[in-house]
């Protein structure tokens, strides 16, 4: 047996060396402008040998060290998370789902459930038009917190005043350490210390990055812009100008909650962004707990460190993107299913095991619904695999009533995300708006728009060459992969003690990648929610190294430390995410490197009226009223000008209160060349004609930071334009 372990370890070490050689030799386009050579190893050397380069980015120029202005944001985010945990804990206790949970399990499940409950509640309040009332949003959380405290004190009082129950009445208890393997050759105190030391820098980066203003396109277009508009309107409704704002926005509701409670959309957005980032450490705690229950304590520790150090996870979490939340809901749903599967063992001492199994299935369904409330693709990547799991266990002859289990699961899914489908059905006639427009139709959707959407969001190339290239990107060349993840996950498949869990994880991963390649437009962020499962498998793989000689283990530890350092350098560099960690938020709010100079100009000079944005949908940082549309929606400029005389256009602008117009030709060109599409009506000669007819007056060009080129142009609306007819066949009639 010892010889077998040595052989497996030797083969694993050789495979690891080969993978790392290929990993650090692979392209890294985002760093090409910094290192001059777009390979990971060059970037690693530069950042490691020139730490002052990173320090200059972190502190800005001129340098500053500002942290106190982050404190109110962190306190507000902690308050929301605390209320969510209290609500979730109370619900789990009332439903008696937590009877076999450890304290850590109870904390993680409660917080995850509570966040989805809060999100659904904010949606309901917003649809009723009550966003103007802070009390309505704050009162349920306060009541839930008080009820949770009362419930806990009552439980303690009963435990102190009654004798322990007899064997017939004894409730289910969690096993001391089910499935736990041998402990690492360190006492538990040191093990926790080293785990905290390894994970600590990444947790700090997530914390520092989460409170920064957004820079990502999707975040400024709808993840934060949609709740900003809901807050300004005082209600949640249909947005005909932003198709993305009509899809499920489960995590965005947490930002809306913060905006209402704080009374400011900008600061509330930073609080919400911080709450969304908290899903990453929450998942890491879930991995720690799941590793302890299903593999071993050390496997859970390794899995937590590996997950929180994955550059992809740090990047999406600090950017305000929702994939980290989807990953958390996915993993916790799988966790609940593993608990359900374990509770079905015939030797279970629990007398109400069937009821407990149904509760676990319902918990998994509710968490799967939480994933769907973040993004539609979770139906494909979370709900479908869980349903297949239910059927597979039934066919395996387990003591399970399939109809009851499936009914409980789907009902819980509907509770977790059904409000979003009902909202879209009521507002647009299409519960899956804007998807499946050919079946349900839906407000503002036309066959042409549907074709445009499908053309962008469906895969195009199914050749073997494309398959090989995309699989290489998934396993090796994706820019923000961790070099630790896949080697250790592969090693986890060789761990004989946990093969059942390993095969579940591997099957889920292969299904995810297959569905991603066949049915989506193959953006990396669509498959990364499966990363927690790979991290758990990697934790099981790390167990193998503890069974090799001490000197081999020391070498492995050194390699792991070096690779963690690489991950840290990757996530703290500029391309790895916005990294102005110590620059004051007041300065970052208007920083030229982050805010478009034209946006700064309008914020400073527009005192009345609205700005019509053409081609520019990243409008979050605009503090003045704006009109805009995405490339998938009707062009507002086209609606206001097509087929009209100059006087009619002037009247239309006056009616809409438009005082300025901004045309982002760079974005329009990108849409047209990338396949997204943009209406052909908007052309330079249209704007030239409006200037000639004295409808618009060009504004002076704005200066941009060195190395940046902008093809946008701003205009002021002239209030008294001359009456003129557009030239025959001219731009206004195209």
Query: Does residue 222 contact residue 322 with C-beta atoms inside 8 Å?
Result: no
Q: Is 27 helix (H, G, I), strand (E, B) or coil?
A: strand
Query: Does residue 610 contact residue 636 with C-beta atoms inside 8 Å?
Result: no
Q: Is 717 helix (H, G, I), strand (E, B) or coil?
A: strand
Query: Of the ranges 160-174, 470-484, 527-541, which is most confident?
Result: 527-541
pLDDT, tens digit, 9 for 90 and up, residues 357-400: 889 999 999 999 999 999 999 999 999 999 999 888 766 555 55
Higher pLDDT, 621 or 196: 621
Q: Of 40, 42, 36, 46, which is closest to residue 483 (Cα–Cα)?
A: 40
CA distances (Å), origin 345, targets 340, 363, 367, 458:
10, 19, 24, 43
Q: Of 93, 87, 105, which is closest to residue 152 (Cα–Cα)?
A: 93
Query: Does residue 311 contact residue 480 with C-beta atoms inside 8 Å?
Result: yes
Higher pLDDT, 511 or 9: 511
Cα–Cα distance for residue pair 133/120, rounded to 1 Å: 17
Cα–Cα distance for residue pair 424/200, rounded to 1 Å: 42
Tell me the pairing of strands 610-614 and 626-627.
parallel
pLDDT, tens digit, 9 for 90 and up, residues 422-459: 999 999 999 999 999 888 877 788 899 999 999 999 99
Query: Of the ranges 40-49, 144-153, 552-561, 642-651, which is most confident?
Result: 642-651
Higher pLDDT, 84 or 495: 84
Q: Give the per-residue pLDDT at 716.
A: 96
How is residue 467 written in tokens? 């398959």
- Is residue 62 reached through a cis peptide bond, with omega within 30 degrees of 0 on the bond before it? yes
Q: Of 564, 532, 527, 542, which is closest to residue 490 (Cα–Cα)?
A: 542
Helices (H), 50-102: 51-59, 71-94
pLDDT, tens digit, 9 for 90 and up, residues 601-618: 999 999 999 999 999 999
Alpha carbon 365 to its chain's center: 20
Higher pLDDT, 349 or 693: 693
Cα-Cα-Cα-Cα dihedral of 359, 168, 93, 412, to 10°? Answer: 10
Q: Give the per-residue pLDDT at 6.
A: 64
To the nearest 10 degrees (0 to 180), the angle between helices 103-127 and 134-161 is 150
Cα–Cα distance for residue pair 144/90, rounded to 1 Å: 7
Handedness of CA 337, 342, 345, 348 (dihedral sign): negative
* Lowest mean per-residue pLDDT among 125-129, 131-135, 236-240, 531-535: 131-135
pLDDT, tens digit, 9 for 90 and up, residues 32-86: 444 444 455 555 666 666 677 778 889 988 889 999 999 999 999 999 999 999 9
Share of the chain above pLDDT 70, in %: 84
* Lowest mean per-residue pLDDT among 347-351, 455-459, 664-668: 347-351
Cα–Cα distance for residue pair 291/191, rounded to 1 Å: 14
Rounded average pLDDT over 104-117: 95
Confidence of residue 345 (pLDDT cuts 50, 70, 90): low
pTM reported for the whole predicted model: 0.91
How is residue 146 written in tokens? 């008080």
> ∠ CA 22-313-571 to the nearest 5 degrees?
65
Confidence of residue 536 (pLDDT cuts 50, 70, 90): very high
Check pLDDT > 90 for residue 599: yes
State the DSSP string of 357-410. HHHHHHHHHHHHHHHHHH-TTHIIIIIHHHHHHHHHHHHTT-S--HHHHHHHHH
Confidence of residue 493 (pLDDT cuts 50, 70, 90): confident
How is residue 255 written in tokens? 């930002």
State the DSSP string of 690-716. HHHTTSEEEPPPPP--TT----EEEEE
To the nearest 10 degrees (0 to 180), the angle between helices 499-519 and 323-343 is 140
DSSP state of 36: S
Query: Does residue 640 contact residue 592 with C-beta atoms inside 8 Å?
Result: no
Cα–Cα distance for residue pair 494/450, rounded to 1 Å: 47
Cα–Cα distance for residue pair 296/645, rounded to 1 Å: 75
Q: Is 627 helix (H, G, I), strand (E, B) or coil?
A: strand
- First CA to last CA distance, the chain: 79
User: Which H or E element spans position 663?
Assistant: strand 658-664
The residue whose two tokens read 């090799």 is 548
Confidence of residue 171 (pLDDT cuts 50, 70, 90): very low
Cα–Cα distance for residue pair 531/475, rounded to 1 Å: 12
Q: Of 56, 484, 521, 511, which is closest to residue 312 (Cα–Cα)?
A: 484
pLDDT, tens digit, 9 for 90 and up, residues 121-163: 999 999 999 998 888 988 877 777 777 777 777 667 766 655 4
> ∠ CA 631-636-640 to the nearest 5 degrees?
150
């Amino acid at each position: 047996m010892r010889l077998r372990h040595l052989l497996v370890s030797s083969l694993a070490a050789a495979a690891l060396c080969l993978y790392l050689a290929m990993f650090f030799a692979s392209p890294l386009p985002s760093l090409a402008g910094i290192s001059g050579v777009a390979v990971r190893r060059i970037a690693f050397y530069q950042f490691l040998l020139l730490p002052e380069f990173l320090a200059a980015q972190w502190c800005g120029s001129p340098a500053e060290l500002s942290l106190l202005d982050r404190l109110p944001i962190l306190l507000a985010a902690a308050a929301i998370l605390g209320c969510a945990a209290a609500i979730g804990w109370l619900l789990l206790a009332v439903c008696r789902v937590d009877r076999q949970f450890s304290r850590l399990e109870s904390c993680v499940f409660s917080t995850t459930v509570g966040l989805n409950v809060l999100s659904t509640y904010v949606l309901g309040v917003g649809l009723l038009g009550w966003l103007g009332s802070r009390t309505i949003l704050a009162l349920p959380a306060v009541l839930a917190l008080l009820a949770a405290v009362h419930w806990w004190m009552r439980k303690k009082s009963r435990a102190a005043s009654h004798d322990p129950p007899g064997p017939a009445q004894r409730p289910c208890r969690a096993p001391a350490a089910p499935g736990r393997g041998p402990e690492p050759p360190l006492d538990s105190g040191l093990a926790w210390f080293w785990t905290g030391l390894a994970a600590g820098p990444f947790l700090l980066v997530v914390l520092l990055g989460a409170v920064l203003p957004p820079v990502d396109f999707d975040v400024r277009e709808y993840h934060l812009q949609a709740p900003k508009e809901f807050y300004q309107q005082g209600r949640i409704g249909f947005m005909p100008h932003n198709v993305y704002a009509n899809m499920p926005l489960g995590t965005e509701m947490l930002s809306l909650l913060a905006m209402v409670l704080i009374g400011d959309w900008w600061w509330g957005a930073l609080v919400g962004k911080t709450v969304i980032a908290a899903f990453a450490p929450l998942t890491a705690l879930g991995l720690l707990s799941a590793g302890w229950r299903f593999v071993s304590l050390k496997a859970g520790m390794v899995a937590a460190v590996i997950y929180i150090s994955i550059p992809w996870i740090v990047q999406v979490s600090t950017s305000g993107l929702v994939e980290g939340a989807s990953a958390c809901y996915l993993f916790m749903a799988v966790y609940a299913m593993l608990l359900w599967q374990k509770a079905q063992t015939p030797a279970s001492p629990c007398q109400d095991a069937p009821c407990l199994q149904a509760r676990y299935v319902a918990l998994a369904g509710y968490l799967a619904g939480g994933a769907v409330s973040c993004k539609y693709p979770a139906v494909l990547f979370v709900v479908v695999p869980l349903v297949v799991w239910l059927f597979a266990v039934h066919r395996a002859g387990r003591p399970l009533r399939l109809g009851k289990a499936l009914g409980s699961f789907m009902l819980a899914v509907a509770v977790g995300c059904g409000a979003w489908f009902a909202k879209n059905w009521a507002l647009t006639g299409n519960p899956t708006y804007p998807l499946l427009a050919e079946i349900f139709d839906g407000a503002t959707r036309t066959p042409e728009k549907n074709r445009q959407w499908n053309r962008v969001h469906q895969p195009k190339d199914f050749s073997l060459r494309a398959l090989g290239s995309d699989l290489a990107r998934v396993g090796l060349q994706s820019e923000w992969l961790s070099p630790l993840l896949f080697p250790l996950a592969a090693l986890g498949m060789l761990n004989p003690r946990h093969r059942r869990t390993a095969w579940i994880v591997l099957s889920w991963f292969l299904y995810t990648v297959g569905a991603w390649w066949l049915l989506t437009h193959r953006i990396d962020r669509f498959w990364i929610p499966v990363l927690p499962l790979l991290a758990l498998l990697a934790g099981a793989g790390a167990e193998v190294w503890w069974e090799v000689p001490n000197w081999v283990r020391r070498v492995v530890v050194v390699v792991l430390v070096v690779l963690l350092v690489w991950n840290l350098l990757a996530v703290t560099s500029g391309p790895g995410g916005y990294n102005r960690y110590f620059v004051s938020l007041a300065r970052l709010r208007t920083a030229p490197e982050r805010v478009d100079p034209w946006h700064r100009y309008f914020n400073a000079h527009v005192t009345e009226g609205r700005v019509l944005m053409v081609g520019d949908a990243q409008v979050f940082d605009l503090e003045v009223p704006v009109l805009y549309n995405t490339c998938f929606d009707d062009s507002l400029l086209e609606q206001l000008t097509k087929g009209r005389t100059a006087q009619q256009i002037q009247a239309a602008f006056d009616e809409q209160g438009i005082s300025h117009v901004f045309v982002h030709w760079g974005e329009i060109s990108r849409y047209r060349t990338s396949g997204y599409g943009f209406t052909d009506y908007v052309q330079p000669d249209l704007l030239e004609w409006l200037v000639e007819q004295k409808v618009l007056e060009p504004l002076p060009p704005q200066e941009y930071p060195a190395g940046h080129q902008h093809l946008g142009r701003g205009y002021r609306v002239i209030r008294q334009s001359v009456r003129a007819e557009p030239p025959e066949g001219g731009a206004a009639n195209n």
